[in-house]
A and B are shown apart, each in its own frame.
Chain A
């Protein structure tokens, strides 16, 4: 006969010790046995079985009713044993899923990677951190041969795998647009059609597209319902909201987008973000946009990459290292 995984001799020994002395040590041993049993998938009915056997060995004249009642208990425990096994198999499935998602997240990183361009006179910093494994925010830099720098920033309403899938679609559509069609409003209008035709109506994508002309230092931009960013003007040491109006992508098939422009002077900065930044939770309230600006202002004198990282770390700490939404922040500074 197969040896019990739960050792009968040990069990009998501890049970006897307990019955004789009511000793806490014996109860501690029982606790250890219990832990070990869970580890080795020993089900509750098996423990009761061992208990009955041990009890009968210690008390050969055990009253029949007691012994019968323990058999009754054993029967009543069967479903708990099954539930334990089911739990274990679901846990294995869960860890398989988790590793699958982490592979997907790595793949997403590779697919959506963008190179931060080096442009004389412009200091660029960008940080994008997902709340879960997969990022529903996306930013991309596109250098045109005519000396323009395109900056795309998008946020899928929703998180996780579906958001990430939608983002890959945005990126590949954008790659396929010819260079002469990379005007902010045009890009958003084209992407709106792609999203409207290919994505479920319950999913919305907000997007900002800006084009920085490195020759005359104008910044033209359009927004599809995206969280407004900010201009920083060095002369007055003040911020102003980047105003652009437009429907979120995918809401209607013929959305039109306005294009605005702003001249950027030495020392000025363009700050682009997603609502993961402005909707940081502090306990049960959202942070105010003014508070966000104060934090950004504190770090704006630093090199742009250092600044965005410091801002991110600040909010990460503020939220107890638990992001509720994907967080993306881009800062462009025109160097003096």
Chain B
């Protein structure tokens, strides 16, 4: 199996590393500057969630291909406390009102697909894809 490009998130500085790696992959795939910026912001948001709420986790990237469409998939995994109320964190205004940034609804908007799995006490896995236009 091919080794996936991956960044471990342990400290705030690692968020930048994740952005950088993600942007390189996005450039390789031919994303324009606006989409590159959006992808980088989504990565920031996901990595920052790991850093703030789980402490340790990782972000990895996959080049995906669907019916000739090329895309970049970001996967963020942690073994933190998990999210107790998913519908609450997916609500507009839940994180933004506290000044925490775009939050998960923001990531969903920045990307084309968004999937979240979280078990209370077992951690969280979020994956999101952006297609090259």
Residues of A within 8 A of B (CB): 1-2, 45-46, 49, 52, 71, 74-75, 78-79, 82-83, 85-86, 89-90, 93
Contacts and interface: CB of A to CB of B under 8 A. Distances in A.
B102 interface: yes
A132 B99 CA distance: 31
Contacts of A75: 37, 40
Interface residues of B, number: 17
Given A75-B40, A85-B109, A90-B92, A49 B33 contact: yes
Given A1-B133, A79-B102, A49 B92 contact: no
- The A interface is mostly helix, strand or loop, or mixed, namely helix
Interface string B27-52: 00000111001101100000000000
Interface in B76-133: 92-93, 96, 101-102, 105-106, 109-110, 133
Nearest to A77: B37
A74 B133 contact: no
Contacts of B102: 79, 82
Given A2-B133, A74-B37, A78-B110, 17 more contacts: A45-B37, A71-B33, A75-B37, A78-B41, A79-B41, A79-B102, A82-B41, A82-B106, A82-B110, A83-B96, A85-B109, A86-B92, A86-B93, A86-B96, A86-B105, A86-B106, A89-B92
Pick the most buried of A2, A78, A83: most chain B CB atoms within 10 A of its CB.
A78
A78 B40 CA distance: 10
A173 B32 CA distance: 66
21 contacts: A2-B133, A45-B34, A46-B34, A49-B34, A74-B33, A74-B34, A78-B38, A78-B41, A79-B41, A79-B101, A79-B102, A82-B102, A82-B106, A82-B109, A82-B110, A83-B96, A86-B92, A86-B93, A86-B96, A86-B106, A86-B109
